[in-house]
Homo-oligomer: A and B are copies of this chain.
């Protein structure tokens, strides 16, 4: 199951580049400013890359603690992979509408945030299922279980909140999501070596 999941993460993270398009220049137009104008594409690419990277690292360390996988786990994992493989679509949608003056920018940001929230929910469901069916390798006390569940549920709450923030500012949403990914990366490097 891990090989398949690793494959899906690797492909999803690599397919993101297909959403980057060379700017179409008119006669005599300069390439460099045209590339700079495409910054939403690059910002959305970078953010989605960071998120998929963190998700892969998290997935890896979660499944390392699981001693056996049953079919229920397999299908919950497929649910997570559904939101993972879908991400290039809202990424492209977000990049396209980030600078719109209208409500469309907010809608695109909300769709992007909703995708991340659904992925976070799938993560929590997997962990909840794993604990409930005693599929973890090591012994855990009730309070350790509760704490680890709260930990995984935080992502759901935080990404859920970015759906709301989307309707305040699309650009702020992108920035927050990117900073969250960086925070998670550094927090993990610090605490769980």
Binding site for B on A (CB under 8 A): 3-4, 6-18, 20, 22, 25, 28, 30-32, 35, 45-46, 49, 53, 56-57, 70-72, 74-75, 78, 81-82, 85-89, 92-93, 96-97, 102-104, 107-108, 111, 185, 188-189, 192-193
Contacts and interface: CB of A to CB of B under 8 A. Distances in A.
A118 B154 CA distance: 34
Contacts of A46: 82
A18 B111 CA distance: 17
A111 B32 CA distance: 9
A81 B46 CA distance: 12
* Chain B CB within 10 Å, residue with most, of A45, A53, A97: A53
A70 B18 contact: no
Nearest to A76: B189
A10 B13 contact: no
B15 A4 contact: no
B49 A82 contact: yes
A30 to B, nearest CB: 7
Contact of A53 (B30, B78, B111): B78
Contacts of A7: 6-7, 10-11
Given A7-B10, A49-B85, A74 B57 contact: yes
A192 B92 contact: no
A17 B82 CA distance: 10
24 contacts: A3-B6, A11-B11, A11-B14, A12-B17, A13-B85, A15-B18, A16-B85, A18-B88, A20-B89, A22-B89, A22-B93, A30-B107, A31-B97, A31-B103, A46-B82, A53-B78, A53-B81, A57-B71, A57-B75, A57-B78, A70-B193, A71-B192, A72-B189, A75-B185
